[in-house]
A and B are shown apart, each in its own frame.
Chain A
Amino acid sequence: GDSVTQMEGPVTLSEEAFLTINCTYTATGYPSLFWYVQYPGEGLQLLLKATKADDKGSNKGFEATYRKETTSFHLEKGSVQVSDSAVYFCALSGLTQGGSEKLVFGKGTKLTVNP
């Protein structure tokens, strides 16, 4: 079945450091790919998405490129801030056995940015 594997956390960085969180996926067909972010005490929010191969999603300084050849969707940011501290989830769109749309999530990577 469809699955998402993302790097284990936690990740701790200093402010202005470069961030990479790796994500690879296994899926049939051509899913859309997503990064969601969960700030402490809150639900998940969409951070960025890409719907086809070679698309680059970007938002708030974060970027990720849909790489079909390596089945990857790594999240990057050039200079992190304390406010970026959160849990980041990689996800792909898929179908349930009943034919409904669903998201398949990775386990999440907790990022802590220190001043």
Chain B
Amino acid sequence: GENVEQHPSTLSVQEGDSAVIKCTYSDSASNYFPWYKQELGKRPQLIIDIRSNVGEKKDQRIAVTLNKTAKHFSLHITETQPEDSAVYFCAAQAAGNKLTFGGGTRVLVKP
């Protein structure tokens, strides 16, 4: 089955700096890669996603890149703000089946 590895597990950045989170996946059939943000005590919420026919996608301060050959994808947050502090999860999905999640990255943005 699919296995998703996520790094780093914690990330501390200064407000205004960039944050990068990296994930690798094992199943070459995976074709959908969402990123979720989870604040303490709340549900995971989608912040950006990418499909396998696209190499990069950007939405304001957030961007995701996908390298299908290497089976890795990354989340980039620019100009970080205190409200970006949360746990971020990457996930991979093949053919509309289950989402397999990474272990999460706790991001702390220091003012």
A interacts with B: no
Using a CB–CB distance below 8 Å, which chain B residues touch chain A?
Answer: none
